[in-house]
Amino acid sequence: MGIFLIFGAAAPVVAAETDFPTKPIHIWVGWAPGGPTDTLVRTVAPVVEKVLGQPVVVENKPGGTGALAMGLLKNAKPDGYTLGATSDTPFTRIPHTTGVKYDPLEDFTYLISLGRSRNGMVVKSDSPFKTFRDLIEFARKNPGQLTHGTPGVGNTTHLALEKIGQIEKIKFQHIFFQGAAPIMTAVLGGHVMCGSVLAGAWVPHVKAGTMRPLLIYDPPEGIRQWPDVPSLKKLGYDFEVPLFEPIIAGPKGLPKPVMDKLIAAFSEGIKTSSYQNAAMSFEVSLPEKPLAGEELVKVVKSQFHFYGDLIRDLGLQKK
């Protein structure tokens, strides 16, 4: 009798996993509307709807550099009907600098990364800095006087420059802004000497001739449109600061059949011309094979530990 009850109780759960989905799926975006993550998720959502046969509802829950939405996601039911979308920032960097209400290595089921954002440093087109080495030499001769605009403490480019400063034994004066647009305004207005943001923000200015790129943080091979602009790797710096965006995740404990269906649906979405065009507009690169499942987990863990060590070395860890 006991055995019968056990199998009887398990049967509806198995059926629910097999039949998934039978109702709308909600995706909580950890950023405000209009940015790369939000736009790309909204672009891929109709394809996921078509593949899975259920509506996909995208909701914005900005705050804490993506950490607010992930804190809420942690407590969602692990059935595949509530997912989160953000960059890897609240998983790999923010937990080391700010108190968060989740454990990034224990509280989530990582599904798939939908791309990898290109990012770099730019100066105004009439800047005296013609190369990144020019900038480094100025910082060396003028300690603390090189002003650099960045989107906040602990973001990818801030940490990359702090690491470079550590290697080169120089100091940057970081000026923190709320987003890419004000950084571009500050660079154009001469309020900061350089700025580092996602390439999608500065590419239009470079094409218009009002800015000049000096450094590509990621990808390691550089950006094809500007082959003469060095990457971290080409300059000999032995570290990488990739920004995976968007990452789709669920709460801990998603059943494997549900995971597999979701990964397959998002993988189909990446292949569409509408998604690829949207990714191109934000300078988000798409790998030949999506980073998903256990491979994504390995990358998140690796980046989490890399940034943890770096942030501790720089004295930026949460108090």
Give the pLDDT mean for 228-255.
94
In terms of Cβ atoms closer than 10 Å to its own Cβ (0-12, 13-18, 19+), residue 91 is buried
Which pLDDT score, from 0 to 100, does residue 303 have? Answer: 93
Which residues make beta-bridge pairs with 149? Answer: 175, 195
Give start-end residues of each CATH 3.40.190.10 domain in the chain. 119-218
pLDDT-based confidence at 17, cuts 50/70/90?
A: low
pLDDT at 209: 97
> Three-class SS of residue 17?
helix
Between residues 131 and 281, which one has the greater pLDDT? 131
- What phi, psi does 230 have (nearest 5°)? -75, 150
Residues of the chain with CATH 3.40.190.150: 2-115+245-314
- 62 pLDDT higher than 50: yes
- C-alpha separations of 310 from 136, 167, 239, 278 in Å: 20, 12, 11, 33
Q: Which CATH number fits domain 2-115+245-314: 3.30.1460.30, 3.40.190.10, 3.40.50.300, 3.40.190.150?
A: 3.40.190.150
Q: Quick one: which of 109, 115, 90, 121 has its CA closest to 303?
A: 90
CATH for the 119-218 domain, from 3.40.190.10, 3.40.640.10, 1.25.40.10, 3.40.50.150: 3.40.190.10
pLDDT score at 151: 82
Asked if residues 95 and 104 have their Cβ atoms less than 8 Å apart, the reply is yes
Q: What span, in angstroms and rounded, lies between the C-alpha atoms of 20 and 54? A: 10
- Report pLDDT digits (tens) over 101-125: 999 999 999 999 999 999 999 999 9
Model pLDDT, residue 193: 97
pLDDT tens for each residue of 198-217: 898 899 999 999 999 999 99
Which of 157-161, 242-246, 259-263 reaches the highest mean pLDDT?
259-263
d(CA 152, CA 180): 10
Question: What's the pLDDT tens digit per position in 255-313?
Answer: 999 999 999 999 999 999 999 999 998 889 888 788 999 999 999 999 999 999 989 98
Q: How confident is the model over 34-59, as pLDDT tens digits?
A: 888 899 999 999 999 999 999 999 99
At 72-98, the pLDDT tens digits run 999 999 999 999 999 999 999 999 988
